[in-house]
Amino acid sequence: METTLIVGACQAGVQIASVMRERGDADPIILIGEEAHRPYQRPPLSKGWLKGELEPDDVILRNRDWFADREIDLITGDRVVTVRRRPDGTGTATTEGGRAISFTRLALATGAAARKLPIDGADYRGVHYLRDADDAIALGPALRDESCQNVVVIGGGFIGLEVAAVARGIGRTVTVLEAAPRLVGRVVAEETSAFYLDAHRRRGTRVVLDARIARIVGDDAAVAHEKGSVTGVELADGTIVPADLIVIGVGVIPRVELAEQLGLDVEAGIVVDEACRASDGRTVAAGDCALMPNPYPLGVGGRIRLESVNNAFEQGKIAAATLMGEPGTYQGVPWFWSDQADLKLQIAGLSTGYDAVVVRGEPVSERFSVLYYREGRLIAADCINQPVDFMAVRNTLNKGGTIPAETAADTAIPLKKSAVLPATTAA
Ligand code: FAD
Q: Which residue minimizes the CA distance to atom 18 of ligand 1?
A: 80
3-state helix, strand, coil in the chain (%, to 5): 25, 30, 40
Check residue 289 and report its DSSP letter: G
Cα–Cα nearest to 283, from 308, 304, 306, 256: 256
* CA–centroid distance for 188 within its chain: 15
Closest CA to 367 of 352, 350, 349, 389: 389
pLDDT digits over 165-183, tens only? 999 999 999 999 999 999 9
Nearest CA-CA partner of 62 in 94, 21, 98, 105: 21
Q: Is the CB of 159 under 6 A from ligand 1?
A: yes
Phi, psi of 344 (to 5 degrees): -105, 115
Atom 15 in ligand 1: residue holding the nearest Cα: 110
Tens-digit pLDDT profile for residues 266-276: 999 999 999 99
Residue whose CA is at the smallest distance from ligand 1 atom 49: 11
Least confident interval from 40-49, 92-101, 418-427: 418-427
- Residue closest by Cα to atom 26 of ligand 1: 337
Measure 32 CA to ligand 1 centroid, in angstroms: 14
3-state secondary structure of 140: helix
Provide the residue count of the chain: 427
The three-state secondary structure class of 4 is: strand
Q: What confidence score (pLDDT) does residue 345 get?
A: 98
pLDDT in tens, 97-146: 999 999 999 999 999 999 999 999 999 999 999 999 999 999 999 999 99
What pLDDT does residue 427 have?
41
Q: Does 55 score more than 70 pLDDT?
A: yes
- 9 C-alpha to center of ligand 1: Å? 9
Nearest Cα residue to atom 48 of ligand 1: 288
Compare 297 and 335 and report the one with higher pLDDT: 335
Average pLDDT over residues 59-85: 97
Is the Cβ atom of 336 under 6 angstroms away from ligand 1? yes
pLDDT value of residue 224 = 57
Q: How confident is the model at residue 424 (pLDDT cuts 50, 70, 90)?
A: confident
Q: Residue 42 gets which letter from DSSP?
A: S
- Cα 426 to Cα 230, 260, 371, distances in angstroms: 60, 47, 21
Q: Would you state the pLDDT for residue 227? A: 74
Question: Is residue 66 in contact with ligand 1, taking CB distance under 6 Å?
Answer: no
The per-residue pLDDT for range 206-253, each reduced to its tens digit, is: 999 999 999 999 997 655 556 789 999 999 999 999 999 999 999 999
The H-assigned helical ranges of 239-308 are: 257-261
Protein residue with least CA distance to atom 30, ligand 1: 43
Q: How far is the CA of 43 from the centre of ligand 1 (A)?
A: 9
Average pLDDT, the chain: 96
Residue 319 to residue 45: CA distance in whole angstroms: 26
419 phi and psi, to 5 degrees? Answer: -65, 135
Q: Is the CB of 183 under 6 A from ligand 1?
A: no
How far is the centre of ligand 1, averaged over its atoms, from the C-alpha of 418 (Å)?
37
| Amino acid present at 270 | I
Buried b (16+ CB within 10 A) or exposed e, 30-64: bbbbbbebbbbebbbbbbebbbeebeeeebbbbee
